[in-house]
Structure 1
Amino acid sequence: MKLYNLKNYCEQVNFLQAVKMGLGKNQGLFFPVDLPIIPKKQLKQIIEMDFLSRSVKILSMLIGSEISISDLEKYVRQAFSFPGPNIVPVTKNISCCELFHGPTLAFKDFGARFMAQIISHLNIENNIITILTATSGDTGAAVARAFYEYKNVRVVILYPKGKISTLQEALFCTLGKNITTIAIDGSFDECQALVKQAFNDHQLRHDTGLNSANSINISRLLAQICYFFEAYALISKEQRKKLVIAVPCGNFGNLTAGLLAKSMGLPIQSFIAATNANDTVPRFLKTGKWKPYDCISTISNAMDISRPNNWPRVEELFSRKKWKLTTLGFGSVSDAITEQTLLKLQNIGYTSEPHAAVAYQLLQNQLKEDEFGLFLGTAHPSKFKNVIDNILNINIPLPETLKAPSELPILSHYMKPNFKKLKHFLTSE
């Protein structure tokens, strides 16, 4: 698999190099040179496969011969060793595609665990690797759990202090050992900026064996393509005819993966990019002007991102495929409407959480009568217990996955958003 740097087309690397580097020169994202298209006859056969076998097939088409089929199958089976996507009907023509049945109850488990397998494959010499990543809520836990107790892998996770749920925090800030967490006194965008600065420091990258586990890393993105194929396989042939998928968007990695699945031939009619009040992309699609505002804290906190990293990949894909951005559905939802939507969903028998509610609201508004809609359930409602209990006036039970960590002390360090301090921390630990 060949990939090129979106900021420097002359810089080309293979898949394993891209995974190891994370970002290219000038903090450029890597993007595939070739976009494979599955012939319709083969697509029918692939759809009939089971989730794991299909995922191996899809990833082998993308990655090529860099990883043997036997190794790839082993990595996929180890990474996706938990219940896959689950389709739950909500209304007559709308269902939720639940992606939160993994070990950290979030869709990020798919990408993070696959990346951990690839990093392990790469690190045959057992060199010290530092995984530096920023999280707005769910990435931190997925990455921490995926790499927990990995030999010679040190994980450092930055998150905005006080701006993720207490249960999200408990899932990854109570582990210790090779997992280090830093609460940054600022927004997720500031956390993300620190990660980018670190990757721009060549000496630091060399000295610490720096890598990133955000959705900027191509391995995470490719793994996420697999569950879009599974979602399609799980719905009826009638529902597949005019399928619209609403994606809760923060860093836009999930939407990028879905669009890549469509580019491979998966017949998804259209997507809706759903954001909360951090509406940089909806405003851009409406006005043509890219104007990020300061990040706003909302109840759908994992989407509190005003400078989404993966948007350049979306634009590149639309350009390469000669698709028009005007075909992409979009919209933003306020906290007040999100709360109303959660109540509406509860009243029709489905307990959701704020991120999925944002996607459902826009899907319901934009879906046509002859279409079928899926909205992605990206995290288990119990991860936002305080918010959900308060809005819905219920006492949502905590799964053991959340209950045990919630009783442990938080082990985080605290830091202002200062790169010099972060660099000193990374090199002195």
Structure 2
Amino acid sequence: MKFYNLNEHKEKKNFSQVLQQGLGTNQGLFFPEYLPKLNNKTIENILNLNFIDKSSYILSLFLKKEIKLKILKKKIKKAFNFPLILNFFNTNLACLELFHGPTLAFKDFGVRFMAQMIEFFNKKKQNKIIILTATSGDTGAAVAHAFYNIKNIEIVILYPYKKISILQEKLFCTLGNNIKTIAIEGNFDDCQNLIKQSFNDQELKQNLNLNSANSINISRLIAQICYYFEAFSQIPLDQRGKKIIISVPSGNFGNLTAGLMAKVIGLPINKFIAATNINDTIPRYLHTGCWKPKKTISTLSNAMDVSIPNNWPRIKEIFKINNWDLNLLESKSITDLETKKTIINVFNKYKSILEPHTAVSFCALKKYILEKDTFNIFLGTAHPAKFKDYIYDILHKKIILPKILVNCIKKENLSYKLPNNFLVLKNFLIKNYII
């Protein structure tokens, strides 16, 4: 399958090329030349497969001419080596828990698949790849752990200084070896801008084999399609005939993009809710038709503190090529106060602890009318232990830390701190990676 550049449609490349290139000419995102559309019988057969076989079939639709199915399955088994749980709150309400991976966040799915693919396609070339990426919270840990000690791959992660939780920071800033982490004096959008400037700089492009592990990389998106199918397969048969509503906590909108792609392929999802915090560019756009990003504001759901979501052009492309009405997409903006109240109410009613991002997803779902003929899923994207201090402050409940957090919490933070200045970052990259 070919993938085309949304900014330069004539630029078309295969998966291995876009995997390693990341962005196209004129900073364009790559998008599949077509999205496979499967009939109901095929969808039913896929849903009856186990998660690894299900994922292998779905991803082979995009990769079958570039990697043998047997090898692809081995790579997927290595990447998706943790459980995926649809946790039922009642008969028609469930949380899709995506945080049981090695870094306790949904991003483990996409990033670990990407790492396996880059390792596979780079094995013969033995090229040195510099993966430059930005994180607003969880991506950094997922990238660092997925690529840790993989030969010929160097990782550089930018994150906003003092704008992520200490536990989030410890997960990826304590590894060392082929992982370098940089705290930028600014917000996440500033980090993303530095990444874009780096990819657009001729000197860096000529001297470094740059790539990105952010959700701009198509490999992450297609991997995330898989867990929407797995979620659907865990819905009881007597509930599958209902209208399926899925609420997706949204920052950079990669997760939602994958869900919409799953719908195009044939998964019968009736409506998506794009749940944002008060960085509400998309809810306002859908309501008014005006694109007016505001300055990014720090919130409890910090991984979603994004005012200019990178994946929105892909979502627009999906709606365009499928001739869909934007009414298919609902979007709700949730305040920190609503997030806090949701965490308290859910604990009191269901005895379940939600972290802020998952609480935003739940609250947005509750704002949408839950009709009797619907089955409702909200995505749980991070483990509550990552926000243990905040959870304790409002619920007075101590959360037992998973082993991975216990192991890293006392380790030294190895991060560099740099100003929000491209020339400073460029000199850092030249000094460390150009021989």
TM-score tier, shorter chain, comes to: over 0.9
Q: Which amino acid aligns with 1:298?
A: T
Q: Which amino acid aligns with 2:50?
A: D
Which residue number in structure 2 is paired with residue 370 of structure 1? 373
Q: Which amino acid aligns with 2:104?
A: L
Secondary structure, counterpart of 1:322 in structure 2: coil
1:315-351 C-alpha deviation (Å, 9 max, x unpaired): 0001111111122111100000100000001102111
Which residue number in structure 2 is paired with residue 293 of structure 1? 294
Secondary structure, counterpart of 2:34 in structure 1: coil
Which residue number in structure 2 is paired with residue 338 of structure 1? 339
Which residue number in structure 2 is paired with residue 97 of structure 1? 96
Which residue number in structure 2 is paired with residue 320 of structure 1? 321
Secondary structure, counterpart of 1:157 in structure 2: strand
User: Hey, what's the Cα distance between the residues in 2 that align with 1:208 and 1:357?
Assistant: 41
Q: Comparing 150-159 with 388-397, which one deviates more in the overlay?
A: 388-397
User: Hey, what's the Cα distance between the residues in 2 that align with 1:223 and 1:153?
Assistant: 20
Which residue number in structure 2 is paired with residue 225 of structure 1? 225
Secondary structure, counterpart of 1:110 in structure 2: helix
| Matching of residues 88-237 of structure 1 within 5 Å | 88-123=87-122, 124-237=124-237
Q: Which amino acid aligns with 1:387?
A: Y
Secondary structure, counterpart of 2:113 in structure 1: helix
CA offset at residue 397 of structure 1? 1.4
Secondary structure, counterpart of 2:103 in structure 1: coil
Which residue number in structure 2 is paired with residue 418 of structure 1? 421
User: Hey, what's the Cα distance between the residues in 2 that align with 1:234 and 1:131?
Assistant: 35
User: Hey, what's the Cα distance between the residues in 2 that align with 1:29 and 1:155?
Assistant: 21
Report whether the alignment pairs 1:260 with 2:261: yes
Q: Which amino acid aligns with 1:75?
A: K
Match of 1:402 among 402, 405, 424: 405
Which residue number in structure 2 is paired with residue 380 of structure 1? 383
Secondary structure, counterpart of 2:87 in structure 1: strand
CA offset at residue 92 of structure 1? 4.2
Q: Which amino acid aligns with 1:232?
A: F
Report whether the alignment pairs 1:360 with 2:362: yes
Secondary structure, counterpart of 1:277 in structure 2: coil
Q: Comparing 358-367 with 308-317, which one deviates more in the overlay?
A: 358-367
User: Hey, what's the Cα distance between the residues in 2 that align with 1:236 and 1:27?
Assistant: 43
Which residue number in structure 1 is paired with residue 14 of structure 2? 14
Runs of 4+ aligned structure 1 residues displaced above 4 Å come to none
Which residue number in structure 2 is paired with residue 2 of structure 1? 2
Q: Which amino acid aligns with 2:402?
A: P
Secondary structure, counterpart of 1:8 in structure 2: coil
CA offset at residue 284 of structure 1? 0.4
Which residue number in structure 2 is paired with residue 75 of structure 1? 75
CA offset at residue 128 of structure 1? 1.0
CA offset at residue 369 of structure 1? 2.6
CA offset at residue 159 of structure 1? 0.2
User: Hey, what's the Cα distance between the residues in 2 that align with 1:93 and 1:163?
Assistant: 36
Secondary structure, counterpart of 1:235 in structure 2: coil
Which residue number in structure 2 is paired with residue 308 of structure 1? 309
User: Hey, what's the Cα distance between the residues in 2 that align with 1:190 and 1:333?
Assistant: 23
User: Hey, what's the Cα distance between the residues in 1 that align with 2:205 and 2:119?
Assistant: 18
Q: Which amino acid aligns with 2:34?
A: D
Secondary structure, counterpart of 1:125 in structure 2: coil
Secondary structure, counterpart of 1:374 in structure 2: strand
Secondary structure, counterpart of 1:175 in structure 2: coil
Q: Comparing 203-212 with 213-222, which one deviates more in the overlay?
A: 203-212
Secondary structure, counterpart of 2:11 in structure 1: strand
1:338-389 C-alpha deviation (Å, 9 max, x unpaired): 0000000110211111001111011112132321100000000001111111
Q: Which amino acid aligns with 2:356?
A: P
Secondary structure, counterpart of 1:424 in structure 2: helix
Secondary structure, counterpart of 2:401 in structure 1: coil
Cα distance change on mapping 1:280 and 1:312 into 2, 3 Å = same
Q: Which amino acid aligns with 2:295?
A: D
In structure 2, stretches of 5+ residues that fail to align are none
CA offset at residue 196 of structure 1? 0.8
CA offset at residue 64 of structure 1? 2.9
1:23-74 C-alpha deviation (Å, 9 max, x unpaired): 0011100001111011111111111000000100000012231111122111
User: Hey, what's the Cα distance between the residues in 2 that align with 1:203 and 1:236?
Assistant: 55
User: Hey, what's the Cα distance between the residues in 2 that align with 1:371 and 1:417?
Assistant: 47
Q: Identity of counterpart residues, as a percentage?
A: 55
How many pairs align? 428
User: Hey, what's the Cα distance between the residues in 2 that align with 1:121 and 1:56?
Assistant: 16
Q: Which amino acid aligns with 1:315?
A: K
In structure 1, stretches of 5+ residues that fail to align are none
Secondary structure, counterpart of 1:9 in structure 2: coil
The TM-score normalised by the length of structure 2 is 0.97
Q: Which amino acid aligns with 1:341?
A: T
Q: Which amino acid aligns with 1:253?
A: G
Secondary structure, counterpart of 1:34 in structure 2: coil
CA RMSD of aligned residues (A): 0.9
| Matching of residues 35-54 of structure 1 within 5 Å | 35-54=35-54
Q: Comparing 312-321 with 384-393, which one deviates more in the overlay?
A: 384-393
